Amino acid sequence: DADVTQTPRNRITKTGKRIMLECSQTKGHDRMYWYRQDPGLGLRLIYYSFDVKDINKGEISDGYSVSRQAQAKFSLSLESAIPNQTALYFCATSDGVWETQYFGPGTRLLVL
Amino acid sequence: EDKVVQSPLSLVVHEGDTVTLNCSYEVTNFRSLLWYKQEKKAPTFLFMLTSSGIEKKSGRLSSILDKKELFSILNITATQTGDSAVYLCAVPGSARQLTFGSGTQLTVLP
């Protein structure tokens, strides 16, 4: 079984809809992250959480919200999806040692 | 503001060639530099470098860090088509977040 899982793997939605992307991990890591990846722009951090009671905005948090339901679960929500949120979304975890992060398989989101 | 710049943006070579990928960085309180390989899926961890001048090797891949000049290189010798991927460089920033470069797209032709 994969250590970091994301659901759904692919999603098509319409402008204005609310959607949630979910991430679960079995690595026992405290730190979890949400990134989006766009062609030519690398990975950009949306939100991160260092433990269940800690939520921090990343570089591009506008239009997104998160929930850390448990150590193993970190969800990303788009309250009202817009087309420029079409991207590949990755969840990652880290045990904080030298900041090495381990990535989930990604969710490909298309907003029409 | 932390910054990571990778070059070249893309590279096309033939099997057997040797390639060198570059990563320069600006970060407050440097701790480490990380290399990832991304094929058509999630980035996978390759190397972590913390000390200047010490080469890390894994098979045909190697990497070295120069903390004085603020850069790292990733070398791949005797390239194979399976090496085709985006190679990402990242550094932890002052807020303990990773700042990624935009990546180098490597294509290895048979």
List pLDDT tens digits, range B57-110: 889 999 999 988 899 999 999 999 999 999 999 998 766 678 899 999 999 999
For position B29, what pLDDT does the model report? 81
CB contact under 8 A, B41 and A41: no
For position B89, what pLDDT does the model report? 95
- Amino acid letter for position B43: P
For chain B, counts of helices (H) and of strands (E): 0, 11
Tokens describing residue A95: 């045990």
Chain A interface mutation, best of B6, B10, B39, B41, highest count of A Cβ atoms under 10 Å:
B41
| pLDDT tens digit sequence for B3-20 | 999 999 999 999 999 999
| pLDDT tens digit sequence for A8-53 | 999 999 999 999 999 999 999 999 999 999 987 788 889 999 889 9
Distance from CA of A13 to the nearest CA of B (A): 21
Tokens describing residue A10: 């692919």
Q: How far is CA B31 from CA A68, A92, B90, B106, in A?
A: 27, 19, 11, 27
Distance of CA B78 to the CA centre of its chain: 17
pLDDT band at A98, cuts 50/70/90?
A: low
Contacts of B88 in chain A (CB under 8 A): 42-43
CB contact under 8 A, B92 and A104: no
CB B43 within 8 A of CB B36: yes
Q: How many CB atoms lie within 10 A of CB A76?
A: 23
CB contact under 8 A, B31 and A58: no
Chain A positions touching chain B (beta carbons under 8 Å): 4, 33, 40-45, 48, 50, 56, 58, 90, 96, 98-106
Chain A with chain B: Cβ pairs closer than 8 A: 52
For position A28, what pLDDT does the model report? 92
The SS3 call for residue A53 is coil
Contacts of B9 in chain A (CB under 8 A): 40
